[in-house]
Structure 1
Amino acid sequence: MLYKLILKLRDAAYRSGRKKSFRAALPTVCVGNVTVGGTGKTPHTEMLLRMLRQENGVAVLSRGYGRKTKGFLVVKPNGSSRDFGDEPLQIARKFPDRLVAVDRDRIEGCEKLKEFGAKLVILDDAFQYRKLKADLDIVLVNYARPVFNDSLLPWGRLRDLPERIFDADIIIVSKCPADITDDEKSSFIKKLRLKDYNSHTCDAFCADGKKIKVLFSNIKYLNPVMVFPEGDPRFIYSQRIMYLSGIADGKRLEDELLSKYKILKFFEFGDHHDFSKGELARVEKALRKAKACALATTEKDAQRLLSLDYVSSYLKERLFMVPIEANLSTPSEKETLLCVLNKLK
């Protein structure tokens, strides 16, 4: 109850103007949510980068959760997750031609990115950073966990008031079935307390009449790749694996792996977990005991593992990751989002 009261007081302070919000010095797109992980913010940030690949000056700004450094830093693809955080490092490695930076102060970060030549900034996970008002707010909601069926921390996974989704310009319902139908979309939108959904325009309406675009996306698993250069790709074709993860929602990847492999053992930790030398030693011991067994991990976990200097050659040889990609459910939804993004130029 205390946490909810704090959130409501903070929300009221911003809505009344007692706390001020400011615009950045250049156009900004915020990709956020109201939950603790599990909606796919980073894959959707990467989706926006793919959609805007023909545009010059598109940059990404993140807080850099979990990093040990402070202040504004430009992310180097060959850097460490301890310097930049795992998610910004993943983006920088996948899009080396894009400017990716970290700064807890998003307003300062945007100003510095403009000095570097940025023309548009994608803000990764800044929906709760209300000091900065983005020009376009995209809020993600997990299809498997409607926010109005959830509870605030610590009893549920909500870190913000569920009704704050109505502050979004666009809601993307993430991790949907690949074959989701219009009827299923309409049914889910009702769970979000929206009405009059039009699948052609992607419009839905709040109780107060505000119009919000609602899009649906799914996750695509790409071909596995070895994490370390010295990895042996033959291990990708092993029939037996073990699974190492430290992310908020690893269930979908578990299911994907279970459809292709026999998983002998799961090593699961909390989101952004910094794997210790002892933990990796236990993983290696289990692998050696199993013999002819590979080790699978997530794309995000791979960024942290690559930054560690105590990963053994035995693990490096066997460790592979499964990259993921977020995609909107229909070409018309993609065109709708592109149209909105183009208006920011």
Structure 2
Amino acid sequence: MQLLRKIAFPISLIYAAVVHVRNLLYDLNIFESKSFKTPTICVGNLSVGGTGKTPMVEYLVALLTKEYKVAVLSRGYKRKSKGFVLASPNNTVEDIGDEPYQIHSKYNEVPVAVDVDRRNGISKLEELVKPDIIILDDAFQHRKVSPTISILLTSYGSLYNDDWYLPTGNLRDSKREARRAHIIIVTKCPHDLSEKAQKAMISKLRPRGDQMILFSCLKYSNVHSEKGVQTEVDSLKKMKITLVTGIANPEPLVEYLKNKGLLFEHLSFKDHYFFTQEDIEILNAKDYVLTTEKDYVRLKGRVRNLHYISVGHSFLNDGEAVLSAELKKSIKQC
């Protein structure tokens, strides 16, 4: 795979040129970026997958629903429906996509919609739901919308300014576009990341004077069964476990489980993978299947002995208070 990526370097140069021209056309207002009456919070990244966008969207939902009527708008990647869809109890994963379905299942009082056309999706939510805030999931590169506040995620150990363009690297947008972010969050940091290391990382990212950089680490939950029973991870040490992942970067979860002393086989699938009947038959022959929350919504009701572990963000320093204050200040100014 690495050899193929290196061979594809000339293609990455063409991709980079297209990305730069597109952004230039928006910068020159030849292509229009539209603002909306409803405050919008964009969560995204410059690379393909693996920075923790969905847990961050869920974090913002939990944070902001205490004071505001929040709606979430996503593309609904790999869904089988078309156009605008406002999630309802009758929708399936295939209707709206795994990540929106996960958010809708967890926060069923929060309107969740999908639409490839973000402008149309925002307009529909304003008409049908009238939210106080709309969170745009994975929308940093979608410049047809000019959000109220943009949150850019980049993973510790895989910073965007150490990366290169697709298909040689993982960048889908220019590193230079990081300047559009109001807040940059370095995700998946070690829990004990020192102040010195944080300052070194800030120097490496070279933020603008008005840009805020925060640091977060992953926080895993107990293990949940389909019946809602919770089990501590430590109690699974003697179990014969099959870990199933269909996410962009399963390594943090794999490392976490190994550090907990669990022994398991790992069946890794590509991101957003829809499991075939053959896959299901193989999994049903396993004693204990553990998966991610995103994969769980595609496997529940099909696999026996199915369990999942969810993940969230935990901020270092006083990052949570700083983020909350900054968001509320920006919303109030609208």
Same fold, TM exceeding 0.5? Answer: yes
Q: State the shift of 1:127 in Å.
A: 0.7
% identical aligned pairs: 36
Alignment partner, residue 211 of structure 1:
210
Between Structure 1 and Structure 2, how many residues are aligned?
316
SS of 1:164's equivalent in the other structure is: helix
| Range 115-124 or range 256-265, more displaced | 256-265
Distance 1:105 1:117 in 2: 18
Pairwise mapping of residues 5-154 of structure 1 onto structure 2 (< 5 A)?
A: 5-77=17-89, 79-115=91-127, 116-154=129-167
Q: Which has the higher mean CA deviation after the structures are superposed, 47-56 or 297-306?
A: 47-56
How far apart are 1:35 and its partner, in Å? 0.6
| Aligned partner of residue 18 in structure 2, secondary structure | helix
Q: Please report the RMSD computed on the Cα atoms of aligned residues, expressed in angstroms.
A: 2.0
For 2:93 and 2:135, locate their aligned partners in 1 and report how far apart those are by CA, in whole Å: 20
Query: Are the aligned partners of 1:241 and 1:264 in contact in 2 as well (CA < 8 Å)?
Result: yes
**Contact 2:222–2:230 at 8 Å: present in 1 too?**
no
- Where does residue 293 of structure 2 map in the other structure? 299
8 Å CA contact 2:245–2:267 kept in 1: the answer is yes
Task: Describe the SS at the equivalent of 2:263.
Answer: strand
Question: 200, 209, 216: which is aligned to 1:187?
Answer: 200
Alpha-carbon shift at residue 335 of structure 1 (Å):
2.0
Q: 1:136 to 1:242 in 2, by over 3 A?
A: same
1:330 is aligned to 2:297? no
> CA–CA distance in 2 between the matches of 1:250 and 1:77?
29
Residues 18 and 64 of structure 1: CA distance in aligned 2, closer, same or farther (over 3 Å):
same
C-alpha displacement of 1:233? 6.7
Does the 8 Å contact 1:246/1:273 carry over to 2? Answer: yes
CA distance in 2: counterparts of 1:304 and 1:298, whole angstroms: 10
Q: Is the 8 A contact 2:223 2:231 kept in 1?
A: no
Corresponding residue SS for 1:31: strand
Contact 2:222/2:232 (<8 A) preserved: no
Per the TM alignment, residue 218 of structure 1 is displaced from its structure 2 partner at its CA by 1.0
Which residue of 2 is the match for residue 229 of structure 1?
227
Partners of 1:241 and 1:261 within 8 A in 2: no
Post-superposition CA distance 1:224-262 (Å, at most 9, x none): 101x33989799735220111110010111112223354
> 2 CA distance for matches of 1:324 and 1:234?
14
Q: TM-score, normalised by structure 2?
A: 0.89
Letter in 1 for 2:255: D
Deviation (angstroms), 1:265: 2.1
**Which amino acid letter does the alignment assign opposite residue 162 of structure 1?**
K
Of 295, 308, 314, the match for 1:321:
308
Unaligned runs of 5+ in 2: 1-12
Runs ≥4 residues deviating over 4 A: 230-236
Preserved CA contact (<8 Å) 1:41 1:125 = yes
Match of 2:326 in 1: 340
TM-score after normalising by structure 1:
0.86
TM-aligned CA deviation for residue 9 of structure 1: 0.6
State the Cα deviation string for residues 65-96 of structure 1 (Å, max 9, x = none): 11000111112356311001111111111111
Say if 1:174 and 1:216, in contact at 8 Å, map to a contact too.
yes
